[in-house]
Amino acid sequence: EDKFYIVKVSMDGVTIEDAPAEIIGGCGNYKAIEILNAKYGPKVGIALAGPAGEYRLAAANISVKDPESNIRSLGRGGLGAVLGSKKVKAVIIDDAGAPASVPVANPEAFKAAAKVFAKAMLDHPVTGQALPNYGTDVLVNILNEAGGLPTRNFTTGRNDWANNVGGETMNANITARGGDGKVAHGCHAGCIIRCSQWYPDKDGKYITSGFEYETAWGLGADACITDLDECAYIDRAMDDVGVDSIETSVAIATAMEGGLLPWGDGKAALKLVEEMAIPTPLARILASGTAIVGKTCGLFRVPIVKDQAIPAYDPRSVKGIGLTYATTPMGADHTAGYTIATNILKVGGYVDPLQKEGQIELSRNLQIATAAVDSTGMCIFVAFPVLDIPEAFMALIDMINARYGYSLTPDDVTELGKSVLKVERGFNKKAGFTNLDDRLPEFFEEEAIAPHNAIWDFTPEEIDKVMDF
Amino acid sequence: EDKFYIVKVSMDGVTIEDAPAEIIGGCGNYKAIEILNAKYGPKVGIALAGPAGEYRLAAANISVKDPESNIRSLGRGGLGAVLGSKKVKAVIIDDAGAPASVPVANPEAFKAAAKVFAKAMLDHPVTGQALPNYGTDVLVNILNEAGGLPTRNFTTGRNDWANNVGGETMNANITARGGDGKVAHGCHAGCIIRCSQWYPDKDGKYITSGFEYETAWGLGADACITDLDECAYIDRAMDDVGVDSIETSVAIATAMEGGLLPWGDGKAALKLVEEMAIPTPLARILASGTAIVGKTCGLFRVPIVKDQAIPAYDPRSVKGIGLTYATTPMGADHTAGYTIATNILKVGGYVDPLQKEGQIELSRNLQIATAAVDSTGMCIFVAFPVLDIPEAFMALIDMINARYGYSLTPDDVTELGKSVLKVERGFNKKAGFTNLDDRLPEFFEEEAIAPHNAIWDFTPEEIDKVMDF
């Protein structure tokens, strides 16, 4: 049946209601949030599946209302399709009547640790300066300089237009255009990093927010759409239809290689993303993700692991991240063991991105640590100060201990991370995955990439060592 | 590059030539064979990739010229896409100057065995009567009667229009229409079964040949296209564009479930198959096969094993074939262990199709025997007399022994079959398949099928016994 439901969580419990007809069957997420705000009140939390999720297409994400009723995304893994398959259009969370705070076992200790932690965030150059000023898009010029910015479907690691779509240009446009534009916008109340922004058009009118590096890379470098405004409109359209901006951007670039649309054609790409609300057959292909684009175009060069798109860091010229792509249980997830920190940003030490030495341990240790940090509900960006500033790491553990009355040690955190990864890999094994799924596509082994003439040269045995703990 | 090549095999050796430009990029196979006949002479053998193969789409087959320059197909497994990926448009085999016969070690013994073998073919009711008169399409009414004719994407095992698309109707139309129509046509010189036919239009003009049960089933029952002429035009179009008629017919039915075209709309289906020569985005989806249709429509009910479409016999009401679908190395290949012979046609004994008892041994033994018979180059249909007539089985072995001067015994044949299956499964294992890939889609376990209220109820452990030898 075509009926969809709303799951409402409040102090009265959980209720299931019919979804309003006007938000079903193609309604964009911006409009749907407006309608749900009107119905349930402007203060409720909303997580919803967009049209792509309703159609159960694999690039569908879950869209989450931010403080200004714009959109943040639970992007990867096709969660929107899961919601759609359960016929859940949206989850509404209404905290009316809820206590002002969760109980904290040791409030003084919590406050003290939080203060140390917050100071570390502000002191660290990545979280204190780079991210608030330029957003994650600060990475475009850095990766281009490093020769690790995959361009034109991973055929080169550097291009001559990167700055057009980089964080410095984003900052300059926002600043010059004024109006709705905001640098350093927090995606949730109380955020002290504020890596988000409001990116406006030439007249200062809001286009999109949370306009991330991976999106600007995917469209701006990998798909050769060299105009940041065109990329911004596509980013907005992806949020509106509810598809992951990494999966979809890489799918667009792969479709360009397959001849489905011209290289660099931002207008054609925008139209295709908008058509995902219908969806047209071509939009179905793209919203099904990069793997399906590869199949329907009969391509060999398809940048995926476990059928999920490889993001914005070339694994040949930043070798540590290649090991994370290959071995992370969800496939090609850079955030699962973000070796860019150490390979490129020299956070937590330095491991030469072009050499194999040290990468196995780096990817393994970061994946273990990240699985633990992810379990706390902390933003992944806390990892920068946590890796560099010993007090920040201890403050994180102290906050958990103070909140729950625990007495965790750093070793416990490592064990937590390991146990999470083992559960995830155990799930994969039961679903039929083997170590042969922990591999990059063959073309990375066959095509050296400019400017470093770098190749993917880890053996299967070496790759399998990453998760051998 | 877009260039394609011809591989020519003759007494002078193997040469590689540019393919004529006019047969590339959308030229149908009927026309391409005409052009290649004109260029290389009417007597050469031709195996070619159609447009779908050039585009490397997974349903692409290899089309083979028959004695009248019509088309037979190496249908399943996407071989046309393999040819296309190698940039081989066609293989030409020119036997000019070749000896009249291959050497035979013991000509008298060969002739004697061949005579016994041929007599068995003609004596057996399936190969001597049913197949020449009604083609493989004789099975429509038989399977419908048995409640094993999957209809409307496997939602029921019997329908009330089956006879419209069955072998009796095919025979009656051919006979009544005359003209080009032929009952009992051999697809190669010297065939004594002659299960093929020329199916003409109402004016007696040739539409298609080798119009098989699985195609008439896929279109006529599974996709509810209840008119045999409409099915015939689609069959011709599939041959012309070079796609497997099983994969494509099931993809069409699955696309109907996904809402991409209306149930039973033969004209829309024909147009879509014709569009595979371009290909339009929707045609790309269908020519990529049933698994991709399922993904792009977000469907749960997708009848595939190892991403290949399940053909014309419902595994719930003909349980033996379900075990073959699940465990055959290429996935859902009914011919790999055709339990229909014993479950339905009572050839080689009888095992009740609705009971689990005896099915594991039946599927295992037939898969072993078939792997051996396939290795001889014999048509699969020799299995009917071979299973029922002891002299036919011995005559088959005697022919091989006489041809090569071997002294094989029946036990050697069994060992040959086992060794073939072990090689195939070894390949799959190295390609990342596990026993978890030897499973039917979940919906067969969840939806009982009319008229017998039959369900797929083999446990994983039972399924794994099939290949445990």
pLDDT of residue B1: 64
Residue after which a domain boundary falls, among B314, B341, B371: B314
Q: Which residues contact A206 (CB under 8 A, 6 or more apart)?
A: A70, A179, A180, A181, A198, A199, A200
CA A243/CA B6 separation, integer angstroms: 43
Residue of B nearest to A55 (CA): B298
Quick one: A295 and A153 in the same domain? Answer: yes
Any domain includes A196: yes
CA A150/CA A143 separation, integer angstroms: 9
Residue B58 to residue A295, Cβ atoms within 8 A: yes
Any domain includes B130: no
Quick one: B263 and B374 in the same domain? Answer: no
pLDDT of residue A189: 87
B256 in Cβ contact with B29 (< 8 Å): no
Any domain includes B99: no
With a cut of 70, say whether residue A179 has pLDDT above it. yes
Quick one: B187 and B157 in the same domain? Answer: yes
With a cut of 90, say whether residue A192 has pLDDT above it. yes
Distance from CA of B236 to the nearest CA of A (A): 23
CA A278/CA A260 separation, integer angstroms: 18
CA A109/CA A72 separation, integer angstroms: 32
Residue range(s) defining the domain that contains residue B207 = 136-314
Q: Which residues from chain A sit within 8 angstroms of residue B436, using beta carbons?
A: 430-432
pLDDT of residue A338: 97
B323 in Cβ contact with B463 (< 8 Å): yes
- pLDDT tens per residue across span A150-168: 999 999 999 999 999 999 9
CA B306/CA B8 separation, integer angstroms: 34
Q: Which residues from chain B sit within 8 angstroms of residue A298, using beta carbons?
A: 55-57, 81, 84-85
pLDDT of residue A2: 78
Optimal mutation site among B284, B306, B439, B463, interface A, most CBs of chain A within 10 A? B284
- What are the strands, taking DSSP E only, across A75-181? 88-93
Quick one: B205 and B64 in the same domain? Answer: no
With a cut of 80, say whether residue A378 has pLDDT above it. yes
Residue A432 to residue B436, Cβ atoms within 8 A: yes
Distance from CA of B284 to the nearest CA of A (A): 6
Quick one: A56 and A87 in the same domain? Answer: yes
Backbone angles phi, psi at B359, to 5 degrees: -70, -35
- pLDDT tens per residue across span A51-74: 999 999 999 999 999 999 999 999
> By C-alpha distance, which of A303, A276, A305, A295 is closest to A221?
A303
SS3 A460: helix
Chains A, B: CB pairs < 8 Å: 66
Quick one: B307 and B342 in the same domain? Answer: no
Any domain includes B131: no
Residue from the list B292, B299, B432 with its beta carbon closest to the beta carbon of A296: B292
Residue after which a domain boundary falls, among A270, A296, A314: A314
Quick one: B443 and B389 in the same domain? Answer: yes
Residue B260 to residue A280, Cβ atoms within 8 A: no
- pLDDT tens per residue across span B282-319: 999 999 999 999 999 999 999 999 999 999 999 999 99
Largest CA distance in chain A: 61
- pLDDT tens per residue across span A237-254: 999 999 999 999 999 999
Name the token pair of A173.
């446009």
Distance from CA of B364 to the nearest CA of A (A): 23
Any domain includes B400: yes
Quick one: B262 and B340 in the same domain? Answer: no
Residue after which a domain boundary falls, among A257, A292, A314: A314
Quick one: B195 and B65 in the same domain? Answer: no
CATH number at residue B230: 1.10.569.10
Average pLDDT, rounded, for chain A: 97
With a cut of 80, say whether residue A1 has pLDDT above it. no
B56 in Cβ contact with B243 (< 8 Å): no
With a cut of 70, say whether residue A405 has pLDDT above it. yes
Name the token pair of B396.
């088959």
CA A59-A60-A62 angle, 5° bins: 135
- pLDDT tens per residue across span A262-298: 999 999 999 999 999 999 999 999 999 999 999 999 9
CATH number at residue A403: 1.10.599.10
Share of chain B above pLDDT 90, in %: 99
Residue A429: pLDDT band (50, 70, 90) is very high
Any domain includes A129: no
Residue from the list A57, A295, A430 with its beta carbon closest to the beta carbon of B288: A295
Taking residues A342-356, report their average pLDDT: 97
Q: Which residues from chain B sit within 8 angstroms of residue A242, using beta carbons?
A: none
Residue B55 to residue A292, Cβ atoms within 8 A: no
Does the model's ipTM exceed the 0.90 cut? yes
SS3 A8: strand
Q: Which residues from chain B sit within 8 angstroms of residue A427, using beta carbons?
A: none
SS3 A315: coil
Any domain includes B267: yes
Residue the block writes with tokens 């009796």? B168
Residues of chain B scoring pLDDT < 50: none
Q: Which residues from chain B sit within 8 angstroms of residue A55, using beta carbons?
A: 297-298
CATH number at residue A61: 3.60.9.10
Residue A436 to residue B431, Cβ atoms within 8 A: yes
Residue from the list A260, A285, A297 with its beta carbon closest to the beta carbon of B296: A285
B61 in Cβ contact with B80 (< 8 Å): yes
Quick one: B323 and B460 in the same domain? Answer: yes
CA B433/CA B426 separation, integer angstroms: 9
pLDDT of residue B189: 87
Quick one: B14 and B87 in the same domain? Answer: yes
Chain A contacts to B (CB-CB under 8 A): 55-58, 81, 84-85, 260, 280-282, 284-285, 288, 292, 295-300, 430-432, 434, 436-437
Q: Which residues contact A115 (CB under 8 A, 6 or more apart)?
A: none
Quick one: B322 and B304 in the same domain? Answer: no
Any domain includes B370: yes
Share of chain A above pLDDT 70, in %: 100
Q: Which residues from chain B sit within 8 angstroms of residue A254, using beta carbons?
A: none
pLDDT of residue B461: 98
Work out how many domains chain A is built from and give that number.
3
